[in-house]
Amino acid sequence: MHREGGCACGAIRFTIDAPLLGTGACHCRNCQKFAGGGPNYVALVPKGVITITRGTPHEFHDRGDSGDKVIRAFCPDCGTPLWSVPEHKPFIPVKVGAFDDTADLAPQMHIYTASAPAWHAIPDNVPTFAQMAPAILAPPE
């Protein structure tokens, strides 16, 4: 499936030509910081399918809850968060807000809900996990 996206100012543009692996909302403290307080809404794509068509994102090197390295890409001009690259995972979480069309990107799960403040809206009709979802924790085969 073809999708396009970019930052708020237009300096960074990208395309993805692969089916999404899933969508979710992360409530961990780092994601709350990068999202401005709320959860971080993402769509997972396989590594290697993002094509940058304009600009060069800056990177912030961080560590996830697992202790593994995470590279967080953002626009150097407007600061829009774009995606993260977790060191030992076969996917890249792309920020839902970076896509041009978000109509079909409702979260299919909520993770790290133990870190969510009481005012984060977490619906009852999707799976929730106090920490990372078990299927995402498993190392790639």
C-beta separation of 13 from 106 below 8 A: no
The number of distinct structural domains making up the chain is 1
Q: Is the pLDDT of residue 4 over 90?
A: yes
Which pLDDT tens digit goes with each residue over 41-82? 999 999 999 999 999 999 999 988 778 899 999 999 999 999
Domain assignment present for residue 14? The answer is yes
pLDDT of residue 66: 75
**Is residue 109 in a domain?**
yes
pTM of the model: 0.91
Could you tell me if residue 21 is inside a domain? Answer: yes
Confidence band (pLDDT; 50, 70, 90) for 136? low
Does the pLDDT at position 138 exceed 80? no
24 within domain boundaries = yes
Range(s) of the domain holding residue 49: 2-136
Summarize the confidence of residues 103-115 as an average pLDDT.
95
CATH number of the domain residue 102 falls in: 3.90.1590.10
CA dihedral 22, 46, 64, 39 (to 10 degrees): -30
Q: Among residues 87, 6, 91, 4, which one has the least CA distance to residue 45?
A: 91
The CA–CA distances, whole Å, from 88 to 7, 91, 140 equal: 26, 9, 8
Q: Does some domain include residue 141?
A: no
